[in-house]
Structure 1
Amino acid sequence: MGQTASQPVPDKSLQVIGAGLSRTGTTSFGVACSYLLDGPCYHGGTQMLNSPESHIKRWIEIIRHTPVKDETDREAVHEGVKEMLGGYVACTDLPSNAFVEELMDIYPNAKVICTVRDPDKWWNSLAPIIEKGNLTVLSWILAPLPTLRMFRTYHDALDDGRVGELYFRPGEPKRPTRAMWDRHIEHLKKVVPKEKLFFYDVRDGWEPLCAILGVPVPKDVPFPKLNDAQAMDNFMKASARRGLMAWTVTFLTVAVAGFSAGKYAKWI
């Protein structure tokens, strides 16, 4: 995950719908697509966490119209996704990978590329976070920080909306499991025409991706190798430190104000 949000370019249009789940090399994939297609890529994690708070709030509004129940919801999702992803040549990671059907409707000529890895290794990288993470504690730590304080609301909207719709089953806990991988692949094969659906492992480098896109293989340009998990881990640790520092400053300010008020009260 990068540290700078990409900016849309008015004359650019989506050519690649990145349908891979998080932790499948989505950051490297996004950078590679941006280079090959000469335009900005919308990487969900980067865009969400490095944009103004209005950005994540807008996505929450859109996601809350899922599961789609009526034409009002359908129109809200369609127009919202179009608004958020206009001006990019590619998109990858959440939330865009949960709106593949809508994106195919908006951009009928785009190719759907699902980044993949060994599914068991994928789950092993996620399981410790899912099983040991505490969103309630994290949400309190991040509460003083703009944008990041909306993380829990965004997460809950996804679980109650499109992510829950695609991957959770009645009676199951609302959280990712190993079954999410299989359900994701099954969903893609169901909704994406065979000739438009491609599976790609970033470890294979430029050649297969260039073949899918129909572009020349770059010469003397190393394929981007970025660690999604490490980047996110570093970002969240730094954010947690910022949140704790903000709480410390708040508590000290309140304590000093209380002490000063007490002294003033004695003087009068």
Structure 2
Amino acid sequence: MGQTASQPVPDKTLKVIGAGLSRTGTTSFGAACSYLLDGPCYHGGTQMLNSPESHIKRWIEIIRHTPVKGEADRVALHDGVKELLDGYVACTDLPANAFVEELMEIYPDAKVICTVRDPEKWWNSMAPIVEKGNLTLLSWILAPLPTLRMFRTYHDAIDDGRVGELYFRPGEPKRPTRLMWERHIEHLKKVVPKEKLFFYDVRDGWEPLCAILGVPVPKDVPFPRLNDAQAMETFMKTSARRGLMAWASIFLTVAGVGFYGAKYARLI
């Protein structure tokens, strides 16, 4: 995950729908697509957490139209996704990877590329977050911070909406599981025409990605090797420290006001 949100460019259009799950090299993939296609990539984690709060709120509004229950939901979802992804040459990670069908309709010439890795290694990287993460505690810590305070609301909306629709089953825990991998691949093969669906491992570097995109292999340019997990862990630790410092400041301010208010009350 990068530290700076990309900005859309008016004359650019989506050429790559990154359909890979989180923790499959999506940051490296996005950087590679941006270089090859000469335009900005929308990486969900980076954009969501490094943009003004209005951005994540807009996604929450859009996601709440899923599961689609009628034409009004379909139109709102279509228009909302187009609004937020116009001006990018590629997109990757959540929430875009949950809206492959809508993106294919909006950008019919785009190719769908699913980044992959060994499924067991993927789950081993996801499991500690899913099984040990405390969203309630984290949401309290982040509450004073703009944008980040909306993270729990966004998380709940997407679990109740499209992610839950695609990957959760009645009677199962309402959270990602190892089964999510197979269900995701099965979904892609069901909704994406065979000739438009590609699977790609970022460990393979430039050559297979360039072959998919039909562009020359860069010479003397190293393939971007970015660590999704490490970047996210660093970002969240930094954000947690900021949240705790903000709470400390709030408590000190409240205590100070209370102290001087009581002192003033004794004088009158």
Give the TM interval when normalised to the shorter protein.
over 0.9
Aligned to 1:210: 210
Deviation sequence 1:116-170 (CA, Å, 0-9, x none):
0000000000101110110000000000000000000000000000000000001
> Pairwise mapping of residues 51-200 of structure 1 onto structure 2 (< 5 A)?
51-200=51-200
Give, as a single letter, the amino acid of the residue that structure 1 aligns with 2:209. Answer: L
CA-atom RMSD in angstroms: 0.3
Matched residue pairs, number? 268
Partner Cα distance (1:30, 1:240) in 2: 26
Give, as a single letter, the amino acid of the residue that structure 2 aligns with 1:107. Answer: Y
Question: Shift in Å at residue 15 of structure 1?
Answer: 0.2
Give, as a single letter, the amino acid of the residue that structure 1 aligns with 2:86. Answer: G
TM-score by length of 1: 1.00
Question: Shift in Å at residue 6 of structure 1?
Answer: 0.2
Deviation sequence 1:171-199 (CA, Å, 0-9, x none):
11110000000000000000000000000
Question: Shift in Å at residue 224 of structure 1?
Answer: 0.1
Uncovered stretches (5+) of structure 2, i.e. residues with no partner: none
SS state at 2:199 partner: strand
Question: Shift in Å at residue 74 of structure 1?
Answer: 0.3
SS state at 1:2 partner: coil
Deviation sequence 1:60-103 (CA, Å, 0-9, x none):
00000000000000000000000000000000000000000000
Partner Cα distance (1:259, 1:203) in 2: 60
Give, as a single letter, the amino acid of the residue that structure 2 aligns with 1:134. Answer: N
SS state at 1:159 partner: helix
Give, as a single letter, the amino acid of the residue that structure 1 aligns with 2:139. Answer: S
Question: Shift in Å at residue 244 of structure 1?
Answer: 0.2
Partner Cα distance (1:172, 1:248) in 2: 39
Aligned to 1:33: 33
Question: Shift in Å at residue 223 of structure 1?
Answer: 0.1
Uncovered stretches (5+) of structure 1, i.e. residues with no partner: none
Identity of aligned residues (%): 87
Partner Cα distance (2:117, 2:75) in 1: 34
Aligned to 1:248: 248
> Pairwise mapping of residues 228-247 of structure 1 onto structure 2 (< 5 A)?
228-247=228-247
